[in-house]
Amino acid sequence: MNKTNPWSVRVSVAQIPDTGLHREFEADAAVRAALAELAGVREILAVSASLDVSPGGGGRFHVGGRVKARIGQTCVITLDPIENDIDELIDLIFAPREQIPELSDLVDDAAEGEVEIPDPPEPIENGVIDLGRVATDAFFLGIDPYPRRPGAVFEPAVVAADAGDHPFAALKALKPDARPPHANKPKSR
């Protein structure tokens, strides 16, 4: 198992039929443990993907589907263990590496207009699309970086202000307690 890509499900584009391909796969315990370590979560109870790969024109392929997971995290407010569900949609285009600059330019041109901007395509590496990597990326995007238990609200500790704790407290200590005797006398005209 690769430490940076523990969930690998490789599909050769040459073996994808014209009608497309459907793959469903689930991560085993070792993969879940490796993913949990990479993601920085307490545990991954389950993670699975259901993906469709369909050929497009010019050697491009569309990958669509979803990743579902149940993960164990720690509430950032109460520090209690909690479980969260992830359900991320996947909608990507893969293209041969030599087409990426041209297709990225089309994305840049679309950004200048008022239409919805498509994502640039992902490269097909050595004639292979790694569906596990696609699922991993979507899974990581679905993780809440600040998980909260339902109803948990952060309430900062209220500290009563100390009368001697202000910016000029040190200066007050230098001030004499009694006023000079001439301070109370009215000025003469």
Segment 79-129, tens digit of pLDDT: 999 999 999 999 999 999 887 776 555 555 555 555 665 678 899 999 999
Tokens of 81: 């263990």
Instruction: For residue 3, name the pLDDT band (cuts at 50, 70, 90).
Output: confident
Residues 4, 130 contacting (CB under 8 angstroms):
no
In total, the chain counts a number of residues equal to 189
In sequence order, what are the beta bridge partners of 89? 66
pLDDT exceeds 60 at position 140: yes
Domain spans of the chain, in order of start = 1-189
CA 146 vs CA 78, 79, 119: distances in Å: 12, 11, 26
Task: Report the b/e string of 24-43 with b at 16+ CB within 10 A.
Answer: ebebeeebbebbbeebebee
d(CA 136, CA 181): 81
Using one digit for the tens of pLDDT, what is the confidence trace for 9-67? 999 999 999 999 999 999 999 999 999 999 999 999 999 999 999 998 889 999 999 99
